[in-house]
Amino acid sequence: MNILANDGISQSGINALEDAGFKVITTKVAQEQLINYINENDVAVLLVRSATTARKDLIDACPGLKIIGRGGVGMDNIDVEYAREKGLKVINTPAASSASVAELVFAHLFGGVRFLHDANRNMPLEGDTKFKVLKKNYAAGSELRGKTIGIVGFGRIGQEVAKIALGCGMKVIFSDMYVDEATIKVDFFDGQRVTFNFDSVPMSKLLKESHFITLHVPAQKEYVIGVNEIGQMRDGVGIVNAARGGVIDEVALLDALDKGKVAFAGLDVFEKEPTPEIKILMNEKVSLSPHIGAATREAQDRIGTELAEQIKSILK
């Protein structure tokens, strides 16, 4: 049985699938050629990440498909309910990449409060001629410890962010329409564990009290953070989005950055991905990464093996 991992899969995942008797194809097929390729190669399982979509037209045109798998959490690039109505299994790996995304959030936060994203742009250009000027420019950083982080969306990733924040000595608050309360267990290297209990707070409270805000919600029809929400935030707030492009109004964000309402932003995802607005890319107050939240070796190994286990369970 043939499996097409169109956006790639870890070698550990390939090994697990091949050991179970499946043929794994890792050829990258263009979206417009995908239907023909699936049918011509008798593909029974299509594995995607964020680059490939599996919409109604593909589902209807590929009767041999049995499983559509998403390596990661969000499945907004798949018509999930329609696929299931047609008898396909739709699977994903919601927990595999949570820690990796959370660590990237803090990479942006640590870099943002110490201006590392901008220093790394300017040091190669002017570090040898304007060292003292740059030192002065980047000398007014701040610490995360003792600050309040507001987490919008308290699923697996949001809770992993909370664990790191607690380890850094931050106060954690969260707002989630579907999660009223949560227990966070922070495990340490020597086997000790500390447990924290949290209750969801209204979004208005989170916006008002947070020094830093990070988003962990699926794609929305409307902005989660727009002009109105930014207006409710404290001056000098930092914002990180490693969730989905389009949950923040980037025009409103740029305006708030220019006015100093928002001190910095960390963006791993963009409204017009994969061609982000040049004004976002060139803004000195924006820390940038190209949608790599789940792109660690450890997360990809977990994703590959988890997909393999689910596929074997369904088809064997």
pLDDT classification of 76: cutoffs 50, 70, 90: confident
Among the listed residues 216, 291, 302, 306, the single catalytic one is 291
Residues 62-77, mean pLDDT to the nearest whole number:
92
Other beta carbons within 10 angstroms of residue 114's beta carbon come to 17
211 a catalytic residue:
no
Q: Is 114 a catalytic residue?
A: no
Is the pLDDT score of 47 beyond 90?
Answer: yes
- The pLDDT of residue 94: 86
Task: State yes or no: pLDDT of 73 exceeds 90.
Answer: no
Q: Amino acid identity of 68?
A: I
For strands 193-199 and 181-187, give the pairing. Answer: antiparallel
Predicted local distance difference test score (pLDDT) of residue 195: 97
207 has pLDDT over 90: yes
**What does the pLDDT read at residue 58?**
98
Q: Is 176 helix (H, G, I), strand (E, B) or coil?
A: coil
pLDDT in tens, 99-154: 999 999 999 999 999 999 999 999 999 999 999 999 999 999 999 999 999 999 99
Cβ atoms 1, 22 nearer than 8 A? yes
Backbone phi and psi for residue 248, each to the nearest 5 degrees, phi listed first? -115, 135
55 is known as an active-site residue? no
pLDDT of residue 278: 98
Predicted pLDDT of residue 178: 95
- 310 CB contacts (<8 Å, ≥6 apart)? 69, 91
Q: In the predicted model, is pLDDT for residue 308 greater than 90?
A: yes
β-strands 212-215, 148-152 pairing = parallel
The answer to whether 26 and 69 have CB atoms below 8 angstroms apart is no
| pLDDT at 123 (0 to 100) | 98
Which residue is catalytic, options 49, 70, 244, 302? 244
Split at pLDDT 50, 70, 90, the class of 50 is: confident
Catalytic residue among 103, 114, 209, 273: 273
**Stretch 183-212: mean pLDDT, rounded?**
97
pLDDT of amino acid 316 = 78
Which alpha helices (H) appear in the chain, and where do they start and end?
A: 11-19, 34-40, 56-61, 80-85, 98-113, 116-126, 131-137, 156-167, 203-209, 227-232, 250-259, 278-282, 297-315
Domains of the chain: 2-93+297-315 (3.40.50.720), 98-288 (3.40.50.720)
